[in-house]
Amino acid sequence: MTPRHDPCFPGGTPEDTGSRSYEPVRVGRISYMNVAPVYYGLNNGQKPDWMAMTCAPPAALNAMMAAGELDVSPVSSAAYARHQDKWLILPDLSIACFGPVMSVLLVSRHPFAGLAGRKVVLTRESATAAALTRYLLASDGIRPCLTVGRVRRADDLPDDTGAALVIGDAALREPWAARFDHVWDLGAMWRERTGLPFVFALWVVRKSFAEAHPDRVSAVLHQFYRSRSAGAGHLSRILPEAADRLGISPEMCRRYYHRLRYTLDSAQMAGLSAFFRGLYAERIISRPVGLSLFRDPGLQDAPGHERPIASACRRS
Amino acid sequence: MTPRHDPCFPGGTPEDTGSRSYEPVRVGRISYMNVAPVYYGLNNGQKPDWMAMTCAPPAALNAMMAAGELDVSPVSSAAYARHQDKWLILPDLSIACFGPVMSVLLVSRHPFAGLAGRKVVLTRESATAAALTRYLLASDGIRPCLTVGRVRRADDLPDDTGAALVIGDAALREPWAARFDHVWDLGAMWRERTGLPFVFALWVVRKSFAEAHPDRVSAVLHQFYRSRSAGAGHLSRILPEAADRLGISPEMCRRYYHRLRYTLDSAQMAGLSAFFRGLYAERIISRPVGLSLFRDPGLQDAPGHERPIASACRRS
């Protein structure tokens, strides 16, 4: 076995770089269990010394990215829409679902169309789920009275509440269906309407950092892909801890993780575009949103058919 | 931008290694379009000089791996069952489906149960699909008269053929439903019976190579994860070429790729185990099959709860 080197530090380990001794790359990590598979490898021996990890709730990571306190982080899709000029999307990483997601619910005392004019409480914990709720209502022409508040338990909601958006642990743990006539899974509603996946969070890099250090961003990407692959192979180790922290049964926890997707393929990109277009069309956001991706410097452009895939298939 | 180094060669680029100048790692690539997304990055600028790629049909890659002519390659699941003592499975890589796969069909002139005693022709092109067909029949207690032959077009099949297994391009391209009363998608049948994904191919490494060069195998893994992620982000570039080569419409090709999975998560591992158990129970294979995974040297063991995930969530 060769001496221990870090295979993902461009130009070798810090000791090798001589005058090029970099600051660590500052990387965010969502402090919720839903992201555990992506960080599994990084949390279990794969984190190189040149990655400095900060663990915080999603809203805090959004703010730290906006303040330039992190270089790379998951952010909510709604935060990307606000800061698209400063951030680039990292390829093939997201928190997404295709159909029911289990942890983003609209619980209601009335049929969907009956929410017009009624009070709908949006949890303050998620900007993206709140924007999705507003879009689903607005695109059906339903204009409720929207408020923001605390939605953790059914008892949190006053009697005049028509419906409430509940996310995360509270959505998974509380028996909402026992207390409300209608419980809609917003991942399922989105798929029914669009046929597309829904993307709750993206990994982004600050544009200025990516321009200065494309090879370092590429090395971070390597680390995330390998870490996520390690997580996919060790879900059975993640589940007991996750079930315990979420306070749900291991079986429900298993179903939950099988709902989540951490990739960002073309269907998910289409879902993201459709979401941003819908938000702009309903004037929930004030500007159209473009999807600007970080271009991995190791990946050449292959425009059109100039370099057909078939020709790459040869002995070398 | 830093000088160009290869971030995935352990210990630096070959020029840096002084006395440790390795032979290239010999890596296999299936010459079919179904695997194009996994190799997309490697085919488009990401392939380092120390990976030597050999492109061949699946059966040839199985044979080359068995002969020690390749170090790392995709192999059919059936081939892994035969060579489990010599190979280790690479984590999180496979060719799999969960439900219909479109390209593995049993076409029949009779209802499923009516195949007892009738001639069923298995294409010689796929050992795994043939084993799956035999298992699905045997576990229902149906004993047909199995033969092996050419199954490319409906006209290939003599009148005394009760059913035939057809795979790959021929399954996608020919209008089988127009010529046969029954067309079963074996990916869908497998999911209906087991609730599990089906894994057609695995990436493996020769045990002796992995023991001698664990860091090099880890570097190959990095390359595959990054290459697959690039493919996921560029499916729109893969589709026209693939549709053209397969001779199907771009829309059908898009649906086909959305059916395929290239990961190997715990559900897929469970599907693989169930398949091997089934083959052994029906005496289609003569030995039980264990799943031996390559252990990434960068990934520490995390047995039980000794290193809870939560504790890894801190500022560093």
* B-chain residues near A269 (CB < 8 A): 233
Tell me the per-residue pLDDT of A277-287, one tens digit each, with 9 for 90 and over.
999 999 999 99
Above 50 in pLDDT, residue B303? no
Segment B149-193, tens digit of pLDDT: 888 888 888 889 999 999 988 899 888 999 999 999 999 999 999
Report the residue from A229, A236, A310 with minimal CB separation from B241: A310
Give the closest residue to B278 by CA, choosing from B141, B136, B113, B147: B136
Look at residue B21 in the predicted model and tell me its pLDDT.
63
Between chain A and chain B, the number of residue pairs with CB atoms below 8 A apart is 204
Strand A161-167, strand A104-108: pairing = antiparallel
Whether A241 sits inside 8 A of B44 (CB atoms) is: no
Domains parsed from chain B with CATH numbers = 22-97+198-281 (3.40.190.10), 104-194 (3.40.190.10)
The label of the residue with tokens 């680390």 reads: A223
CA angle A230-A235-A240, nearest 5°?
A: 135
DSSP, collapsed to helix, strand or coil, labels residue B240 as helix
Pair of tokens at residue B151: 């199954």
Length of chain A equals 316
Selected residues 231-250 of chain A with any CB under 8 Å from a CB in chain B: 232-238, 240-242, 245
| Nearest C-alpha in A relative to B11 | A5
pLDDT recorded at residue A152:
87
Mean pLDDT of A282-308: 78
> Is the predicted ipTM greater than 0.90, yes or no?
no
In chain A the beta strands, taken as DSSP E runs, fall at 25-30, 51-56, 72-76, 87-97, 104-108, 119-123, 145-149, 161-167, 182-185, 198-206, 260-261
User: Which of A266, A305, A307 should one mutate to test binding to chain B, selecting the residue with the greatest count of B CBs within 10 A?
Assistant: A266
Instruction: Give pLDDT, residue A301.
Output: 63
| Contact predicate A82/A267, CB 8 Å | no
Tokens of B116: 């007892």
Cβ within 8 Å, pair A225-B230: no
For residue A28, what are its two tokens?
A: 């965010």
Dihedrals phi, psi of A58, to nearest 5 degrees:
-55, -45
Q: Please compute the mean of the pLDDT values over residues A2-28 and round it to a whole number.
A: 51
Strand bridging mode A260-261 / A25-30:
unpaired
Q: Roughly what angle, to the nearest 10 degrees, separates helices B214-233 and B235-246?
A: 80
Q: Give the chain A residue nearest B20 (alpha carbons).
A: A2
Q: Which residues contact A229 (CB under 8 A, 6 or more apart)?
A: A41, B91, B92, B93, B221, B225, B263
Considering chain B, what is the average pLDDT of its residues?
Answer: 87
Q: Are A275 and A77 contacting, i.e. CB atoms less than 8 angstroms apart?
A: yes
Q: Which of A124-138, A204-218, B5-19 has the lowest mean pLDDT?
A: B5-19
> How many Å lie between the alpha carbon of A75 and the closest alpha carbon of chain B?
17
Closest CA to B31 of A305, A313, A307, A315: A313
pLDDT for the residue numbered B155: 85
